[in-house]
Amino acid sequence: GAGVSQSPRYKVAKRGQDVALRCDPISGHVSLFWYQQALGQGPEFLTYFQNEAQLDKSGLPSDRFFAERPEGSVSTLKIQRTQQEDSAVYLCASSPPGPQYFGPGTRLLVL
Amino acid sequence: AQRVTQPEKLLSVFKGAPVELKCNYSYSGSPELFWYVQYSRQRLQLLLRHISRESIKGFTADLNKGETSFHLKKPFAQEEDSAMYYCALSAGNNRKLIWGLGTSLAVNP
């Protein structure tokens, strides 16, 4: 069956530009997670949804980061006024609950 | 503090040799531990979870609460095992994952 998909796969942004990253979870998965993975690091938790409710956003690094999942399915992670330190791979994962299944990630490069 | 430590960034072994990837954790509650693997140009995928107590692709991992470890082992490494391996801890009510830095395993012919 279809796994978690993310788009775009690659994004180059100029510093100060806004970006939107999309995640399509596995159909029927209740939980959705976003992680940020900097080069040479393990993933770091950003935020968590249960259906449409954002229950934990403690990992969002600043108020420039915003995530939503309005209908409890597709989620969007938005980064406003991007900075160079935002360059990373952004991973989305969904779970039934249970083990988390990951998308391929979006590699963001901010110049 | 909740933390996962993978002390080796890179581990290089020869085909057929035993391999052990180390993982230690720090967590005050009852942890759930996982190993994820990322092959070249592929997404992260679940390899093992401690509650399953199963062997996948010849790999096993045992949770040792006394030593707070969850080391990944395989008796005979294969070239196709070359990949990045991450140990992760499931924490809190929302089960977010806390990750180690990863160990890159290279199995040489």
Average pLDDT, chain A: 95
Residue A93 predicted with pLDDT over 80: yes
* Residues of chain A with C-beta less than 8 angstroms from the C-beta of B99: 35, 42-44
Q: Which two tokens stand for residue B72?
A: 């990944």
Region A52-68: mean pLDDT is 96
Residue B94 predicted with pLDDT over 90: no
pLDDT-derived band at A1, boundaries 50, 70, 90? low
Angstrom distance (rounded) from CA B16 to CA B78: 6
Q: Using CB atoms, pick whichever of A97, A99, A105 lies closest to residue B46.
A: A99
pLDDT-derived band at A45, boundaries 50, 70, 90? very high
What is the CB-side half-sphere exposure of residue B44 using CA atoms within 13 A?
Answer: 28
pLDDT-derived band at A29, boundaries 50, 70, 90? very high
Judged by average pLDDT, the poorest of A44-48, B16-20, B52-56, B57-61 is B52-56
Nearest to A44 by CA among B3, B97, B34: B97
Angstrom distance (rounded) from CA A22 to CA A1: 19
Residue A40 predicted with pLDDT over 80: yes
Angstrom distance (rounded) from CA B100 to CA B89: 9
CB contact under 8 A, B96 and A59: yes
**Chain B contact for A45, CB < 8 A?**
yes
Q: What is the pLDDT of residue A27?
A: 94
Region B9-37: mean pLDDT is 94
